Structure 1
């Protein structure tokens, strides 16, 4: 019973809603037809004034201003009362548009409240300004068409109203772009937090806004009877010249598009390319900025980023460490096995150890080498450095307890003293020749 009652109430609300809107549109259509069908009857008032014709517009459309004698004086080819009546129509159009906006907003807000969707509330706020402006322009246009205006004034009024309507629709389109981009940004952030996708949104927002403005300017220019074909030709030639002069800029722009599409890295990732290594801070249309280990901000053109071999350190599943631990050559085999067990115990007991391989792999020149291959289950470098430090300290403490010595590069020099070798060597010595004395009066070596 309660469900049937709720359905009945819902149907009644929809019927009342439809009747209200139908009445509003019928009233607006009647007013429009009433204003458009108004005619001006011109008759001769007397034989002496046969050459002067006065437009006798119906009193309820001129507000009785045409009956005031001094308001019949002409200003710029029109009677003064016509300007005053037009001013009254402007005021009426303004307040009528506010009333219509209030009615529309009231009904739309009720509908948005029932739908319980945030985007509907945003649409209601978006439509409020443009609806008011467009309603004002339409009502004003209907009111001003009652009178006969000179051709130049009628053309000026028509062009002005077209510009206002075009501006309102352009404003509506730009706000719609902001609404859709904001809604998309919220969905992306809530879905997977893609920082690169979030940064792509401002680029798309600017691109769509530029497109909307260009189209709006062309449409308004066409409605104002301007030569749009010539304007497009001028823009084409100018665009070609700018494109030839800005090849690097266009290359960087296409590089940015490639980065956004392929996503080799995201904001906050640690990357390496050539001699540069650091954290990605921003990705713009022209360049990408990377903060290196020294704290300096490095700006790299996007065309270079798109063509470079990039190592994304942040995309690795963890941080792998390969270390070599050397024991002295006087370490017996049982102690080597004990050292392997200690290393296994220390590293496997840590919660961040994802993979571990410990082997006695070679006899080095000055040490018995134990190789440790350890995978840290995180990409946070600060956390990794602190954890590895604790592991190394524990390893040193345990080796000291077991009386195990770490080897270091060393060389042993053997000194041999053999008397027989010295005697044999002395027998093989030959008699040394006597040096030649120099002659008198002549310097030695001369």
Structure 2
């Protein structure tokens, strides 16, 4: 890299111009190269749009800005070298290292832009798991950044073997100092691989006061949006020690209600229960393949109780309540159709007529005493 820079600078200086003329020549050449690149890019972009593949479009968009930056920055380093050579005796060999670092930076920039474009393209299709796509993109970014850093260190003359040896001891020290950070990192890896939930899922924990929709799963923490729209930041290590429920993955939602009839309607219980069961079996929003039960259950204090046990086809919370409302209204209509009614708490008081006749003041001094009893 240094020899190529020297050859290029010597070639430019061979024109015999002063440093200012050479810098202007390099700048004009860079501008012409940039215009040529824009023209070539637009032609390639048009050709890529006529293909059936999306990956060529993603790659072309990824290299546009980095190549433009390289066209301007590479000649700029040559100009800096010419200026330094003309005005000082400072060795300009270090500029070659700058050029190498520039190439490495451009390569990493292109890689990160390509990863970002691919991630955005895949997520836009709505056919991929968002959590998995984001996890793969993060690992890819980490890989290229690591490769770039190691390459930069190697180009600067640092010994990687010595660095790795030091890293073994230093890693132990850092691991002890950043125990919580590492536990959160591996907790995030556990979420990515075990996949107890993903972005967009509604989760809750009976062990902690955690409930809401998952917005983002990071390396250190997971962001959950509660139902009152507050953000909840949960360290990933927490999920390795608690029970997590994922209602978003339910197959059905359950309707389980106990309904009481009046004791006066005891002779109609069997008919009502049977008709309600038939209604549920034929209901378009009730999954008849799941457990479906309607049975007389118990003698209540003021009602004859039967229970309804069924599962809806939908798992959407709002739709579930619409289905449940329709079922309950149809149950009430069936009860009323048979001239029965739903019971409510009542008490029956029985008085001895002989006692009432001997104590008429009990009636006369109590204006709220039932008229039906007075008439008797």
TM-score by length of 2: 0.72
Counterpart contact for 1:325–1:406, Cα < 8 Å: yes
- Residue 94 of structure 1 is matched in structure 2 by 27
Higher RCO, 1 vs 2 (CA within 8 Å, ≥6 residues apart): 2
Deviation at 1:381, TM superposition (A): 1.2
- Residue 373 of structure 1 is matched in structure 2 by 309
Partners of 1:103 and 1:296 in 2: how far apart?
Answer: 52
Deviation at 1:286, TM superposition (A): 2.2
Change (3 A) 1:202 1:409: farther
- Residue 103 of structure 1 is matched in structure 2 by 36
- Residue 104 of structure 2 is matched in structure 1 by 169
Local SS of the residue matching 2:93:
helix
Matched residue pairs, number? 335
Local SS of the residue matching 2:257:
strand
Change (3 A) 1:236 1:137: farther
- Residue 204 of structure 2 is matched in structure 1 by 272
Counterpart contact for 1:126–1:176, Cα < 8 Å: no
Structure 1, unpaired ranges of 5+: 1-31, 39-56, 64-84, 417-446
The counterpart of 1:304, out of the listed 228, 238, 250, is: 238
Partners of 2:326 and 2:11 in 1: how far apart?
Answer: 92
Deviation at 1:149, TM superposition (A): 11
Per-residue CA deviations over 1:263-311 (Å, capped at 9, x if unaligned) read 1112232223224352233322222243455665544321121343322
Local SS of the residue matching 1:62:
coil
Deviation at 1:190, TM superposition (A): 0.3
Counterpart contact for 1:267–1:282, Cα < 8 Å: yes
Alpha-carbon RMSD across the aligned residues, in angstroms, is 4.0
Per-residue CA deviations over 1:56-86 (Å, capped at 9, x if unaligned) read x9xx6323xxxxxxxxxxxxxxxxxxxxx33
Structure 2, unpaired ranges of 5+: 1-5, 50-55, 353-376
Per-residue CA deviations over 1:299-357 (Å, capped at 9, x if unaligned) read 43211213433221110112111222233455355x23431344246545654222372
Change (3 A) 1:350 1:251: same
Moved more, 127-136 or 171-180: 127-136
The counterpart of 2:15, out of the listed 58, 61, 65, is: 61
Change (3 A) 1:319 1:132: same
Deviation at 1:109, TM superposition (A): 3.3
Whether 1:118 and 2:27 are equivalent positions in the alignment is: no
Partners of 1:240 and 1:110 in 2: how far apart?
Answer: 53
Partners of 1:271 and 1:210 in 2: how far apart?
Answer: 33
Change (3 A) 1:240 1:94: farther
Partners of 1:140 and 1:227 in 2: how far apart?
Answer: 31
Counterpart contact for 2:221–2:234, Cα < 8 Å: yes
Query: Greater Rg, structure 1 or structure 2?
Result: 1
- Residue 313 of structure 1 is matched in structure 2 by 247
- Residue 47 of structure 1 is matched in structure 2 by none
Counterpart contact for 1:326–1:406, Cα < 8 Å: yes
